[in-house]
Chains A and B, each alone.
Chain A
Amino acid sequence: MINLTIDGKQVQAESGMTILQAAKANGIEIPTFCYDPALSKAGACRICVVEVEGARLLAAACVAPIYEGMVVHTNSEKVQKSRRINLELLWANHNQDCLTCEKAGECKLQELCYKYGVTESRFEGKKRNLPIFDDNPFYIRDYNKCINCGKCIRACQEIQINETYDFVDRGFNTHPDTAYRVDLMAKESPCVFCGNCVAVCPTGALTSKINRGTFRTWEVEKKVKTTCTYCGCGCGLELNVIGNKVVRVTPDLSGTTPNEHGALCTKGRFGFDFINREDRLTNPLIKENGKFRKASWEEALDLIASKLKGIADVNGGNSLMFLSSARTTNEENYLMQKLSRAVFKTNNVDHCARL
């Protein structure tokens, strides 16, 4: 254990920890942009700078290791001034359309500007001025809102292992982009639209297209934890609900689900619009004289049971075939094969999870 002083408080922290980790473990929050516990470290955004007594430079808390006897000030005058100028610099090079930005309410830049009282920038001037890339069905890239934290690049490289992006160009012109700057749907682009980059983006630079413009982030009434039904991985999801409608899906970050770091695939993250589709079946239908009619569950289940039993009694269980769906839960699928094997004594059971 290492003894150090943070903001006048004598604290202990494990050796090998960074200032950020030691502070967090002792209930002191330090703001970050480019840091994400799931990703490799960049130390690039410099918003987490803190003052270490005896050091000429401010230290980036996310990467600076602690040492015995260290005295740290996470919110001194000098630190606040540096963070404020940092925010002014980002704000000056930002497409400042918070009013209609999808990210408003959850944007890290907005949050910190609010916290540090940055209402305008003294450094307004030229802007990055790139086109907005709306080149696929899932998400939009507006690098005029990008703060170059690099998390999207690392998320794709380290979580999705897909290496769609890297920084291109240099200096003021630096920004993430695809190889050869191709569209995401181009054959050269390896993007699988998992959206893990969108999930880590702290600003409105990467935003989902699903239900875009129909709700504000703060209108989400509840987040219902559930398990993704698309495949057997069992990723934890949170269905973001307004009224009776799922407006988006975010990952369950509790750390108790198989999808570590909240990684999801394109289906789990973006494929939920069927829930509220008008043409979705919500009642059982029974076909009579070539036409479907609505039925109650009791009636439908009775009909199925009697038909299955009738066929099995006459031709044996092997005359039946059971096919279940990936859109149902694992428990339901388990029950389906139980029904097939234990009740009808047949191994004719399969599943559609071959998407």
Chain B
Amino acid sequence: MGCCQPIDKVTAIVEQYKGEKGALIPVLHAVQKELGYLPKDALETIAAGLNIPASEVYGTTTFYTLFSTKEKAENIIRVCESGPCHVSGYQKVLEAIKEELNIEVGEATEDKKFYLEMTACLGVCAEAPAIMINDKTYVNLTPEKVKALLASF
């Protein structure tokens, strides 16, 4: 695309989807993939470009847990807390992550390398407990395994 400002990338993405029906959520995904999160100026560009009220763009963004208006970190860790992971002991895995990274749920490490949050079911319930780091799911975890996994980042 030959552009270097983040906002130009947003404009380019919006251009690509313009005129498509129901473009908002695909655009939010694409922009977040590009920028890591959805800052206000990006949302403003999207609202103007797709001709959708800013209130609706913002309201929609805040509805979905995969969208973030805050900068989180380089890697986002999502720990599944649904029933199957619960009975398979996700609590110990979570403790291990918190201990290893020295952060609580909803926090980023100081070096902004990891952000920790919880998630509902990841759909790998027969291999619980499971976590997701960025786009990838990791299964059958134990405290030892998850520590080793974090070290590989």
Which single residue of chain A is at the shortest CB-CB distance from B40? A180
Q: Is the CB of B56 within 8 A of A166?
A: yes
List residues of chain A with CB within 8 A of the CB of B62.
Answer: 168-170
Closest CB in chain A relative to B64 CB, distance in Å: 8
Q: A165 within 8 Å of B by Cβ?
A: yes
Q: A180 with B63: in contact, given A163-B53, A166-B53 (CB under 8 Å)?
A: no
Q: B58 within 8 Å of A by Cβ?
A: yes
**Residues 157-207 of A contacting B (Cβ, < 8 Å):** 157, 163-170, 177-181, 188, 190
Q: Is the CB of A180 within 8 A of B59?
A: no
List residues of chain A with CB within 8 A of the CB of B54.
Answer: 163, 179-180, 188, 190
Size of A's binding interface in residues, CB under 8 A = 16
Q: Is the CB of A169 within 8 A of B58?
A: no
Which single residue of chain B is at the shortest CB-CB distance from A153? B55
Q: A166 with B59: in contact, given A179-B53, A188-B54 (CB under 8 Å)?
A: yes
Of A166, A178, A188, most B-chain CB atoms within 10 Å: A166
Q: Is the CB of A179 within 8 A of B55?
A: yes
Q: Encode contact with A along B43-86: 1 for CB under 8 Å, 0 otherwise.
A: 11001000001111111101101000000000000000000000
List residues of chain B with CB within 8 A of the CB of A163.
Answer: 53-56
List residues of chain A with CB within 8 A of the CB of B60.
Answer: 166
Q: Which of A167, A169, A180, A190 lies in contact with B43, CB distance below 8 A?
A: A180
Q: Is the CB of A165 within 8 A of B55?
A: yes
What CA separation (Å) do A188 and B65 show in the bound complex?
24
Interface SS of A by simple majority: mixed
Closest CB in chain B relative to A185 CB, distance in Å: 16
Q: Is the CB of A164 within 8 A of B63?
A: no
Q: Which of B40, B44, B59, B65 lies in contact with A167, CB distance below 8 A?
A: B59
Closest CB in chain A relative to B130 CB, distance in Å: 23
Q: Is the CB of A180 within 8 A of B56?
A: no
List residues of chain B with CB within 8 A of the CB of A178.
Answer: 55
List residues of chain B with CB within 8 A of the CB of A179.
Answer: 43, 47, 53-55, 57-59
What CA separation (Å) do A39 and B54 show in the bound complex?
21
**Residues 73-131 of B contacting A (Cβ, < 8 Å):** none
Which single residue of chain A is at the shortest CB-CB distance from B63? A170
Of A169, A180, A188, A190, most B-chain CB atoms within 10 Å: A180
Residues of A within 8 A of B (CB): 157, 163-170, 177-181, 188, 190
- Can you identify 15 A-B contacts, CB atoms within 8 angstroms? A164-B55, A165-B55, A166-B53, A166-B55, A166-B58, A167-B63, A168-B58, A168-B59, A170-B63, A179-B43, A179-B55, A179-B57, A180-B43, A180-B54, A190-B54
